[in-house]
Amino acid sequence: MKRRQFILLIVAAPLVMTVMKRLGSGGSADTKTDKSVDGIRKNWKSLLARDAKVDLSTEPLRKAKAEWKQILSDAQFYVLREEGTERPFSSPLNDEKRPGVFVCAGCALPLFTSQMKFDSGTGWPSFFTNIPGHLATKQDYKLIVPRTEYHCVRCGGHHGHVFDDGPPPTRQRWCNNGVALRFIPA
C-alpha cells in the first residue's frame, strides 16, 4: 500500500508543480507568463523594445511603385511587391533565436514574436501563430493547387503562405520570406 502511494506521489508531483507555477494569487492564471496561444497573441507587446521604431497603425498605407523601389532593396521589392519567394536557407532570420518582435520590412508593422517562431526545417522563418489583425489572407492558385497566401494589412506586402502542417496546438505554419521581415530584439 505504501509503495502505491509513493508511486502515485512521484507520478503526480510534476503535474502539481506545473499547476502551482501557472496559478497566480486568487487561483487565476498569471497573464505575464501565459504560454497559451491566446496569451502569446495578447501579450506580444511584452517583447517589443521600448525604443523600437514600429508603426502600430493598421490603416492602409498607399505608395506608388517608384516610391517602394526607393525604400526597399531589390530582394525586398521582389518579395513584398511582386509576390516573389527568396531561396530557402538564405535568410539569417531563419536562425534568429533571441527574444523580440518580427516586423514588416516594408512598413514596420509588428507581425510575429520570437515566442511564435519554430524551426520548421523548410529554410524559411516559420511561426505557429501571428499578431492578431496584422495579416490578411487570400487564396493563391499560382501552383495550380490552392494555397493560402498572406500579406501585411498596412502596406499590402506579400510575406508568404500559411500551411496546416505546423506544431500543436494551432497546427499552422506561417512560412515567411526572411527578406520581408526585420527583427527587433527585446
In which residue ranges of the chain is CATH 2.170.150.20 found?
34-185
User: Once rounded to an integer, what is the mean pLDDT over residues 11-22?
Assistant: 38
For residues 75 and 154, what is the distance between their CA atoms, to the nearest angstrom?
20
- pLDDT, residue 21, reads 36
Backbone angles phi, psi at 41, to 5 degrees: -70, -40
- pLDDT, residue 31, reads 36
pTM: 0.79
pLDDT mean across residues, the chain: 85
What's the CATH number of domain 34-185, 2.60.120.560, 3.40.47.10, 2.170.150.20, 3.40.50.1820? Answer: 2.170.150.20
Most confident residue range from 51-55, 72-76, 136-140: 72-76
Q: Are 181 and 104 in contact (CB under 8 A)?
A: yes
Q: Per-residue pLDDT tens for 110-165? A: 999 999 999 999 999 999 999 999 999 998 887 778 889 999 999 999 999 999 99
Q: How confident is the model at residue 66 (pLDDT cuts 50, 70, 90)?
A: very high
Q: How confident is the model at residue 2 (pLDDT cuts 50, 70, 90)?
A: low
Q: Which residues are catalytic?
A: 175
- pLDDT, residue 180, reads 98
Cell digits for 169?
496546438
- pLDDT, residue 183, reads 97
Best CA proximity match to 127, nearest among 115, 137, 135, 139 = 115
- pLDDT, residue 30, reads 36
Sign of CA dihedral 174, 18, 31, 45: negative
- pLDDT, residue 33, reads 57
- DSSP of 37-48: HHHHHHTGGGGS
Q: Per-residue pLDDT tens for 166-185? A: 999 999 999 999 999 999 99
Q: Are 182 and 171 in contact (CB under 8 A)?
A: no
Exposed, middle or buried, 63 (CB in 10 Å: 0-12/13-18/19+)? Answer: middle
